[in-house]
């Protein structure tokens, strides 16, 4: 009898431990799996890194992964088809055909307003040091949109308005982190220059070099960088009113070292326009190619279906990037980890450069390489976005679908 009780107790303990283990496994997978999955039309729901996860409708329970679902539905992801771990939304839509980039392009942006990059004191006629902008509540990073209801678009324009104010109070309309408000600026007459000043420095345009990620074959829209263009002084994302992409040639690749990121240096080769830049946000820079450039891309470019995030797996892939001239080359990389939950992130994958030739040329990932497309299993799955300062052979990548969500159309 005592032996029987011991057996029952041991069995109960084993069952309890098994249940705890199953609950822990369910919590682990729930944290690792996305809330929403988009799948190509007619393609099974399959998580590349978790083949043990199967998918079924909420009403029918777990079913084979070969089953497909309507345009949008709620489904259950299960462990081995038996243990439910997460309810998710599955959307079915045709994956776009993308023309791979990897080519460098010049970026010329005009801001939507002017951005305040610095504040400074001014000595007035009585010898006092004052900063009118600071007194008005203006801060570095603010974007000035209007002065006395007149749109301002350039540094020279805003200085002309202030210097011609005769000291009267100016109503300044400001955008700060997406919120608009009005400040009252009282210019100061300077002792040394004998003119009216506001005590602030502003920027109205930005120029730089980036890498194009892909062109949508159907529309001619393109995406690049995989992260926003930010003001170098304030770190704020630049809100653009207009801009253009222009041809660029890479003239030098400065090799990266531990603690010192490398960079690609280049020059604008002509004033010809490749396309119009229309949007700058967390996932990159977006625009539309000119008709001639679009036609050339469709004729000469490499085409790939876009890969959705759940199709990506750790292991070998390659990038297309340009480290000399204007023609991209193919270089091998290793995808070391994937964050399937990062739909709003630019850091969805950790990648490592493995190609000996690229390591010799650049030491790994360098500034200017952002936007280089990542190809795996003959699909365009993402783009390079960041380099690890402590190890330039490694960095982050963004999902291609995150970028495609923000195409201008």
Burial state string for 223-260 with b = 16 or more CB within 10 A and e = fewer than 16: bbbbbebebeebebbbbbeebbbbbbbbeebbebeeee
Active-site residue flag, 270: no
Residue 276's DSSP bridge partners are: 244, 288
Q: How far apart are CA 45 and CA 62, in angstroms?
A: 12
Active-site residue flag, 386: no
Burial of 297 (0-12, 13-18, 19+ CB in 10 A): buried
Q: How far apart are CA 308 and CA 399, in angstroms?
A: 8
Give start and end residues of each alpha helix (H) in 241-338: 291-300
Phi, psi of 160 (to 5 degrees): -65, -40
Q: How far apart are CA 386 and CA 395, in angstroms?
A: 5
Q: Would you state the structure tokens that stand for residue 252, as one six-digit string?
A: 């030098």
Per annotation, catalytic residue among 78, 205, 370, 372: 370
Q: Is 24 helix (H, G, I), strand (E, B) or coil?
A: helix
Per annotation, catalytic residue among 142, 204, 231, 355: 355
- Using H for helix, E for strand and C for coil, what is the string for 158-205? HHHHHHCCCCCCEEEEEEECCEEEEEEECCEEECCCCCEECCEEEEEE
Cα 382 to Cα 117, 370, 409: the distances in Å are 33, 11, 20
Active-site residue flag, 227: yes
Cα 303 to Cα 188, 299, 380: the distances in Å are 59, 10, 9
The DSSP-derived string for 89-120 is: EEEE-PPPEEEE---EEEEEEEEEEEEEEEE-
Q: How many CA atoms lie within 13 A of 95 on its CB side?
A: 23
Per annotation, catalytic residue among 165, 205, 227, 386: 227
Nearest to 264 by CA among 316, 225, 238, 237: 225
Q: How many CA atoms lie within 13 A of 159 on its CB side?
A: 9
Which residues are the active-site residues? 227, 355, 370
């Amino acid at each position: 009898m005592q032996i029987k009780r011991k057996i029952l107790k041991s069995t109960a303990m084993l069952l309890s431990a098994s249940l705890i283990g199953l609950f822990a496994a369910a919590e682990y997978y729930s944290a690792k799996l996305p809330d929403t999955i988009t799948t190509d039309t007619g393609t099974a729901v399959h998580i590349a890194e978790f083949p043990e996860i199967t998918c079924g409708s909420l009403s029918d329970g777990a079913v084979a992964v070969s089953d497909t679902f309507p345009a949008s539905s709620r489904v259950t992801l299960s462990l081995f088809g038996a243990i439910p771990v997460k309810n998710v939304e599955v959307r079915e839509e045709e994956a776009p055909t993308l023309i791979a980039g990897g080519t460098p392009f010049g970026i010329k942006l005009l801001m939507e307003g002017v951005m305040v990059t610095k504040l400074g004191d001014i000595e007035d006629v009585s010898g006092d040091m004052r900063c009118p902008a600071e007194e008005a509540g203006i801060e570095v990073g603010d974007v000035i949109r209007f002065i006395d209801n007149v749109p301002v678009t350039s540094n020279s324009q805003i200085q002309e308005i202030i210097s011609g104010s005769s000291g009267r109070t100016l109503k300044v309309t400001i955008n700060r982190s997406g919120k608009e408000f009005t400040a009252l600026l009282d210019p100061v007459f300077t002792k040394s220059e004998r003119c009216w000043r506001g005590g602030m420095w502003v920027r109205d345009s930005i120029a730089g070099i980036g890498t194009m990620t892909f062109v949508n074959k159907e529309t001619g829209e393109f995406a690049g960088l995989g992260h926003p263009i930010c003001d170098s002084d304030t770190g704020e994302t630049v809100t653009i009113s207009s801009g253009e992409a222009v041809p660029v040639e890479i003239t030098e690749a400065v090799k990266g070292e531990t603690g010192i990121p490398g960079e690609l240096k280049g020059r604008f080769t002509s004033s010809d326009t490749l396309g119009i830049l229309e949007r700058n946000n967390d996932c990159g820079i977006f625009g539309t190619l000119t008709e001639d450039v679009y036609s050339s891309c469709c004729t000469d470019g490499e085409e790939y279906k876009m890969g959705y995030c759940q199709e990506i797996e750790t292991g070998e892939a390659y990038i297309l990037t340009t480290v000399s001239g204007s023609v991209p080359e193919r270089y091998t990389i290793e995808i070391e980890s994937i964050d399937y939950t990062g739909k709003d992130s630019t850091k969805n994958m950790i990648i490592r450069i493995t190609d000996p030739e690229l390591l010799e040329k650049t030491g790994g990932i360098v500034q200017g390489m952002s936007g280089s497309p990542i190809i795996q299993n003959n699909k365009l799955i993402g783009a390079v976005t960041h380099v690890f300062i402590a190890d330039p052979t490694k960095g982050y990548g963004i999902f291609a679908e995150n970028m495609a969500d923000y195409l201008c159309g």
